[in-house]
Structure 1
Amino acid sequence: MENEFEAKFDALLKKYTELLLGDWSEEKQAKVEKWVMYTYISKSMPALVKHWNDTYPQAKDEVVNLIKEIKTLNDQHREAMANKNKQ
């Protein structure tokens, strides 16, 4: 039962990564998972994230770079889809 849930949830994450970024890889999925968790935690417990950012400034910089990378990949995917739909 647990393996079935894991497989189905992994399929959800794979599809989300693919739809968000245009394609899927294990590396991209891992980045998306971190981005999703950080975003969720920052909205649900902002004080915790502020404390973490203050405690681990280098890790915060890595998260900022991760967010920028995902945004760039998403923007590129959206642009490619828009151009594809125009043709």
Structure 2
Amino acid sequence: MLEKYSELLVGESIDETKEKVKVWALYSHIAKSMPALAKHWNGLYPDAKEEMMQIINEIKVMNEQHRSSSQN
């Protein structure tokens, strides 16, 4: 399921990308369903929060590139 989700989301399903998609999906779910927990974690681990923001931005860019290439 993760392999197909990664492929549909960003256009590839290599191991590194699947791991980033997994981390992104889990963090996104926690941030939406338990925002206080995400805020607490962000406060305790600012370096990890920065790394998470980089992964989120990378997934976003990859998704936008995949969608634009799929439309053409």
TM-score (normalizing by structure 2): 0.97
Identity %: 51
Computing the radius of gyration from Cα coordinates, the structure with the larger value is: 1
Secondary structure at the counterpart of residue 23 of structure 1: coil
Do structure 1's residue 60 and structure 2's residue 49 form an aligned pair?
yes
Tell me, in whole angstroms, the C-alpha distance in 2 between the residues paired with 1:82 and 1:43: 29
User: Alpha-carbon deviation of 1:58?
Assistant: 0.5
User: Alpha-carbon deviation of 1:40?
Assistant: 0.4
Instruction: List runs of 5+ in structure 1 lacking aligned partners.
Output: 1-11
Tell me, in whole angstroms, the C-alpha distance in 1 between the residues paired with 2:15 and 2:33: 27
Do structure 1's residue 49 and structure 2's residue 49 form an aligned pair?
no
Structure 1 vs Structure 2 CA RMSD: 0.5
Instruction: List runs of 5+ in structure 2 lacking aligned partners.
Output: none
Runs of 4+ with >6 A deviation:
none
Corresponding residue to 1:77 among 59, 63, 66: 66
Tell me, in whole angstroms, the C-alpha distance in 2 between the residues paired with 1:24 and 1:54: 32
Which of 1 and 2 has higher RCO (CA within 8 Å, sep 6+)? 2
